[in-house]
Amino acid sequence: MYRYLDGLNEKQREAVEHLDGPLMIVAGAGSGKTKVLTTRIAHLMKLGVDPFNILALTFTNKAAAEMKERIEVALGNSEAKNLFIGTFHSVFARILRNEATKMGYPSNFTIYDTDDAKGIIKDIVKERNLDDKIYKPAYVYNRISAAKNSLIDAAAYRVDHHIQQEDQRSNRPQMADIYETYAFRCYRNGAMDFDDLLFKMYELLQKFPEVLAKYQHRFKYILIDEYQDTNTAQYAIIKMLGAVHENICVVGDDAQSIYSFRGATVQNILQFQTDYDDVKVVKLEQNYRSTQSILNVANNVISNNANQIPKELWTQNNIGEKIVIVRTMTDNDEGKFVADAIKEQQMRNHYTNKDFAILYRTNAQSRSFEESLRRMNIPYKLYGGTSFYQRKEVKDMLAYLRVVVNTRDEENIKRIINYPARGIGKSSVDKVIVAAHEQQKTFWEMIEHGSGNGKIDDFVMMIKSFQVMLQTKNAYDVAFAIGKHSKLVLEHYNDKTVEGLARYENVQELLNSIKEFTETPDEEGELLDKSLGSYLQQISLQTDTQNEDEESIDVVKLMTIHSAKGLEFPCVFSVGLEETLFPSAMSLYDREGLEEERRLFYVSITRAKERLWITYANSRYRFGSLVQNDPSRFLKEIPPMYLDLAFTGMSNKADTSVGSAFGNRGGGNAGYGAPKDGFDKVPSLKKLADKLSSAKQAPAPHQPSSDFVADDAARIMKGHKVEHQKFGFGQVMNIEGGAANPIATIDFGAGHGVKKIMLNYAKLRILGD
DNA sequence: GAGCGATTAATTTTT
DNA sequence: TTAATCGCTC
């Protein structure tokens, strides 16, 4: 009767057919987790549950899209359209958009990505005259992010004893102030960062019981994918939303928890059984993906971790090929080896490009593989990295669109007010900012009714004209007009360099994507929101440009292990297995960090279906210079019996015998004569010496007087005592160059000495003569 | 104020 | 290696 149930094994079927009450599915790698989730949803719908009442949350857009598609296939109709399936962030953004005004946000609130957020933090640190070496934007951002993900707001942060101690100890006493300012500024800008989408969602449900009740009753069934990667905020939200029906189904694998840096805590999955009464637990332990060899290696590696839910992955698949470990001399050799091996496998075993994936720890590692693949004419696709939407020219264009939709967004106003250059300088902008903050107004409110600055007024008129268009024109027409009248497109068009051309094309591509968005017809029964605001919201959460028909393009895939989670490939290269790279240097200090790296390695191994190569290089270029690394400690955790020792692919260059692969670096690298210690010390000593010899006493920067006002350059005469904003106090020795372009020779004394200053540009205050 | 070369600092993973 | 900032010139 339910044919789709036939393809399930006993355990899978048990999970699908459990209808009401909390359910935890512990799903090992390759055990058919997505199949179970999608079949379960389809089954619920077959049994009459309204798709409108089902909420399914995933971590990536890719996973959400795949789930939706598979349900459609299972059901054979378009009922799936009404399901609420998406990433945590996108689903909450949608809900927040509906309820935003309750929280004092515009419904078209802007979503700030990490770069936007770091930019604001940078500004704040600068404004407070703090050292940006200590208050590094990335550090501050991560700390604020961690707080939000633990549901700690700025006020709670300030009074949290433990946190305060940490900040004192790390010499960052002003963290709480920065957090508070940052949070306020986002709010004032009508913007939320990624973490706010969770944090504000929590706040919304907390503060507005009627909103909570609405969604509690709406979501009768809640399903959560990758539960091991949820953080405290996500956990709390789910708990609230599910409290009425308690039909919560979580799927996860503690062995694949790899997002603790984003606040994820494995505790959520470990504790699930104690959170609810009568939790049904189903373990999926049969692996359908990998060969026995691959699975054996994976099991051996992960068994080195202490904290685990006990389970044993097994498979009926063939033993398959042994795993190949390859050592190369340099990262370039590593790239070359991989490209060679791909070619060879294609010849010998009839694989095509898309059967291969190269998985690495950090995005920076992609370079050598790209080069070698290109050299051998093997088509590839790079996933992740700086995405399309992070490119400067795209962000510039998006900044215009965002400002037009949400004028509270000071950050983006600042970005575009003088780009393309229209003669509105930093000082004019700063003047507005100071005045606005004094009067408790937003930047836009300050200038929208005239600013006393003709150029700013022109800018305001232009933005307003775009806003008028918003009423009658579609998103594409507005965007096109913005590109044209802001002269942004022209700016790129006039740049005839190769990069300029690329930028022009990227902006055109952005416009195309808006056009596509606008022209996608509404599905039956579903009226899609085609406003510019809706478009912006959607793309803000789209980090990967998930292009058309992923499956059909025949290319080798390059990505980080993190982005490979949930995917599988016939042939996998897990590369860069070196100490300080994988495991990363950042993780070496504590057991948890190291175990997470090991889980990451586990994830990379279990992506492979048929063949697996593990590679590492003796030395590689990092931050511009060659460094040597020991082989990763994880390699020692693989019993040699699973390894293929015969095949090296580069037998003349790379020594892949297990003996030398593990540890005794002296063996095979005679070409790099210098022992490790000497090698490491030379450059650092040299650097130090350079620093000492060139250490000039930098003059202390001049703090301009608080009442500093520049005087008219024409009034400055020989012999005047003057103050310069940067160089401090000095005396005019001489003036030359004629009235049109007078140049003064000024003696600023010991600190800065004698300088020639062009009076038309410099800001000088006359103190007397 | 703006544009351009030169120096220098920085690299974990992502929604 | 590359992105970002610095500092110089017009």
Contact by Cβ (8 Å): A118, A157: no
Question: Kind of pairing, strands A248-252 and A23-27?
Answer: parallel
Tell me, in Å, how far CA of A241 is from C1' of C3? 43
Whether the beta carbon of A671 falls within 7 A of nucleic chain C: the reply is: no
User: What nucleotide is nearest A623 when CA is compared to C1'?
Assistant: C1
Please confirm, yes or no, whether A33 is among the known catalytic residues: yes
Tell me, in Å, how far CA of A636 is from C1' of C1?
31
pLDDT one-digit tens code per residue, A159-185: 999 999 999 988 899 999 999 999 999
* pLDDT number for residue A695: 29
Nearest to A543 by CA among A562, A521, A568, A519: A562
Q: Which residue is nearest to nucleotide B12 (CA to C1')?
A: A362
The β-bridge partners of A744 are A735, A757
Mean pLDDT of the region A755-767: 58
By three-state DSSP, how is residue A611 classified?
A: strand
Q: What is the pLDDT of residue A758?
A: 56
| Residue A762, SS3 per DSSP | coil
Q: Considering all nucleic acid strands, name the nucleotide whose C1' atom is nearest to the C-alpha of residue A760.
A: B1
Instruction: Measure the CA–CA gap between A101 and A183, rounded to whole angstroms.
Output: 17
d(CA A515, CA A172): 47
In A47-113, alpha helices (H): 61-75, 88-99
What was the pLDDT predicted at A394? 87
Q: Is the pLDDT of residue A743 over 80?
A: no
- H helix or E strand, kind and range, residue A745: strand A743-747
| A281-285, A519-523, A565-569, A637-641: segment of lowest average pLDDT | A519-523
Per-chain mean pLDDT for chain A: 83
A574 CA to centre of own chain:
22
pLDDT at residue A711, rounded to an integer:
56
Amino acid whose CA is nearest the C1' of B3:
A421
Range scoring the smallest mean pLDDT among A102-111, A246-255, A666-675? A666-675
Cite the DSSP H helix spans in A161-303: 161-169, 175-188, 194-207, 209-218, 232-241, 267-275, 292-302
CA A27/CA A618 separation, integer angstroms: 37
A452's tokens: 């006393």
Model confidence at A672: pLDDT above 60 = no
Distances (CA, A) of A205 to A19, A104, A209, A249: 26, 15, 6, 21
pLDDT at A36: 94
How would residue A314 be classed by pLDDT, with cut points 50, 70 and 90?
very high
Is any atom of strand C within 7 angstroms of residue A685's beta carbon? Answer: no
Residue A256 annotated as catalytic: yes
Q: How many residues does chain A have?
A: 769
Residue A423 confidence (pLDDT): 82
For CA atoms A605, A611, A617, A621, the dihedral sign is: negative
Token pair listed for A261: 């840096």
CA of A138 to C1' of B1 (A): 31
3-state secondary structure A36-48: HHHHHHHHHHHCC
Instruction: State residue A549's pLDDT score.
Output: 56
Q: Output the CA–CA distances (angstroms, integers) from residue A592 to A364, A365, A457, A695, A763, in the order listed.
A: 24, 24, 56, 42, 55
Residue A634 has φ and ψ, to the nearest 5°, of: -65, -25
Rounded, the Å distance between the CA of A133 and C1' of B10 is 12
> Which residues of A in 622-661 have their CB below 7 Å from strand C's atoms?
623-624
Measured CA A568 to C1' C8 distance, in angstroms: 54
Residue A731 and residue A721: Cα distance in Å, rounded?
A: 4
Confidence band of A665 (pLDDT split at 50, 70, 90):
very low
Helix (H, G, I), strand (E, B) or coil at A14: helix
Over the stretch A612-652, which tens digit does the pLDDT of each residue have? 999 999 999 888 788 899 999 999 999 989 988 654 443 33
Q: List, in sequence order, the alpha helices (H) in A589-651.
A: 591-606
* Ramachandran category for residue A178: left, alpha or beta (phi over 0 → left; psi -120 to 50 → alpha): alpha
Give CA–CA dist A608/A297, Å, rounded: 11
Percent of chain A surpassing pLDDT 90 = 52
> Residue A306 CA to nucleotide C3 C1', Å?
40
Provide, in whole angstroms, the distance separating residue A674's CA from nucleotide B13's C1': 33
Asked whether residue A700, judged by its CB, lies under 7 Å from any atom of the DNA or RNA strand C, the reply is no
- What's the mean pLDDT in A340-359? 95
* Closest nucleotide to the alpha carbon of A691, via C1': B8
pLDDT mean over A525-541: 77
Tokens of A768: 């007397």
Which pair of tokens denotes residue A676?
A: 């490790």
Neighbours of A510 (CB within 10 A): 22
Lowest mean pLDDT: which of A215-229, A523-537, A585-599? A523-537
With tokens 């015998």, the residue in question is A657
CA A423/CA A418 separation, integer angstroms? 7
Region A540-544: what's the mean pLDDT?
75
**Does the structure show a pLDDT above 50 at A269?**
yes
Q: Which two tokens stand for residue A33?
A: 């987790």
pLDDT at residue number A694: 29
A349/A207 Cα distance (integer angstroms): 61
The stretch A26-49 carries a mean pLDDT of 92
Instruction: Report, in ranges, which bases of strand B sit under 7 Å from a protein C-beta.
Output: 1-3, 9-15
pLDDT given for residue A1 in this prediction: 59
For the segment A647-662, what is each residue's pLDDT rounded down to a tens digit?
444 333 334 333 333 3
Range from A68-72, A280-284, A349-353, A405-409 carrying the lowest mean pLDDT: A68-72
A225 is catalytic: yes
Catalytic pick among A123, A226, A410, A578: A226
Instruction: Please compute the mean of the pLDDT values over residues A262-287 and round it to a whole number.
Output: 90
In the prediction, which pLDDT does A523 show? 55
Nearest protein residue, CA measured to C1' of C1: A624
For residue A678, the model assigns a pLDDT of: 26
CB-based contact A566:A390 (threshold 8 Å): no
Looking from the CA of A55 toward its CB, the CA atoms found within 13 Å total 26
d(CA A236, CA A199): 10
A287, containing H or E segment: strand A286-287
- Find which nucleotide's C1' atom is closest to A755's CA: C8
For residues A722 and A767, what is the distance between their CA atoms, to the nearest angstrom? 5
Catalytic residue among A13, A14, A34, A628: A34
From A11, A12, A33, A228, the catalytic residue: A33
Range A755-761 average pLDDT: 55
Q: How many helices (H) and strands (E) does chain A have?
A: 29, 23
- Higher pLDDT among residues A693 and A8, named by residue: A8
Asked whether residue A730 carries a pLDDT value surpassing 90, the answer given is: no
How far does chain A reach from its first CA to its final CA, in angstroms?
A: 101
- State residue A575's pLDDT score: 96
Q: What angle do CA A394, A396, A399 make, to 5 degrees?
A: 110
Per-residue confidence (pLDDT) for residue A671, from 0 to 100: 26
Q: What integer pLDDT is reported at residue A769 of this predicted model?
A: 59
Determine contact, residues A23/A283, Cβ cutoff 8 Å. Answer: no
CB under 8 A, 24+ apart: contacts of A339-348: A339/A369, A339/A372, A339/A373, A339/A375, A339/A376, A339/A378, A340/A376, A340/A649, A340/A650, A341/A573, A341/A613, A341/A649, A342/A373, A342/A378, A342/A556, A342/A571, A343/A376, A343/A378, A344/A649, A345/A571, A345/A611
In whole angstroms, B11 C1' to A735 CA is 49
Look at residue A707 and tell me whether its pLDDT is greater than 50: no
Closest nt to residue A137, judged CA to C1': B10
Through-space separation of residue A363 CA and nucleotide C2 C1' in angstroms: 13
Q: Indicate yes or no: strand C within 7 A of the C-beta of A589.
A: no
CB-based contact A578:A629 (threshold 8 Å): yes
3-state helix, strand, coil in chain A (%, to 5): 50, 15, 35
User: Can you tell me the mean pLDDT for A176-199?
Assistant: 95
Q: For residue A426, which nucleotide's C1' is closest to its Cα?
A: B1
Whether the CB of A487 is less than 7 Å away from nucleic strand C comes out as no
Least confident of A208-217, A686-695, A730-739: A686-695
Strand nucleotide closest to residue A625 (CA to C1'): C1
Of A116, A167, A196, A225, catalytic: A225
Residue A469 — pLDDT band, cuts 50, 70, 90?
very high
Over residues A734-738, the mean pLDDT reads 59
> 3-state class of A602 per DSSP?
helix
Instruction: Give me the DSSP letters along A482-537.
Output: HHHHTTHHHHHHH--SHHHHHHHHHHHHHHHHHHHHHHSPPPTT-----SHHHHHH
pLDDT tens profile A363-418: 889 989 999 999 999 999 888 766 778 888 888 899 999 999 999 999 899 888 88
Residue A432 CA and nucleotide B14 C1' are separated, in Å, by 36
- Tell me the pLDDT tens digit for each residue of A78-98: 777 788 999 999 999 999 999
| CA A574 / C1′ C2 distance in Å | 25
The predicted structure's pLDDT at residue A165: 92
Do A755 and A702 contact (CB within 8 A), yes or no? no
The predicted structure's pLDDT at residue A674: 27
- Listed as ranges, the nucleotides of chain C within 7 A of a protein C-beta are 1-2, 5, 9-10
Q: Is the CB atom of residue A73 positioned under 7 angstroms from any atom of strand C? A: no
A758: CB within 7 A of chain C nucleic strand: yes
Q: Which residues pair with A628 in a beta bridge?
A: A619
Work out the number of other CB atoms within 10 angstroms of the CB of residue A555: 16
Among A225-229, A679-683, A765-769, the least confident range: A679-683
Residue A316 has pLDDT above 80, yes or no: yes
For B1, nearest residue by CA–C1' is A425
The single residue of A256, A265, A543, A560 carrying the catalytic annotation is A256
Nearest nucleotide to A584, CA against C1' atoms: B12
The vertex-A543 CA angle with A133 and A488, nearest 5°, equals 80
Helix (H, G, I), strand (E, B) or coil at A131: coil
Token couple for A757? 């200053």
**Which has the closest alpha carbon to A151: A51, A273, A240, A234?**
A234
Nucleotide nearest A119 (Cα, C1')? C4
CA–C1' distance A345–B13 (Å)? 30
Q: What is the pTM of this model?
A: 0.82
Residue A741: pLDDT over 70: no
Query: Radius of gyration over alpha carbons of chain A, in Å?
Result: 30
CA distance A751 to A28: 67
Q: Does any strand C atom come closer than 7 Å to the Cβ of A426?
A: no
Q: Specify the amino acid at residue A713.
A: A
**Closest residue, by C-alpha, to the C1' of C9:** A758
pLDDT of residue A669: 31
Q: Residue A490 corresponds to which amino acid?
A: L
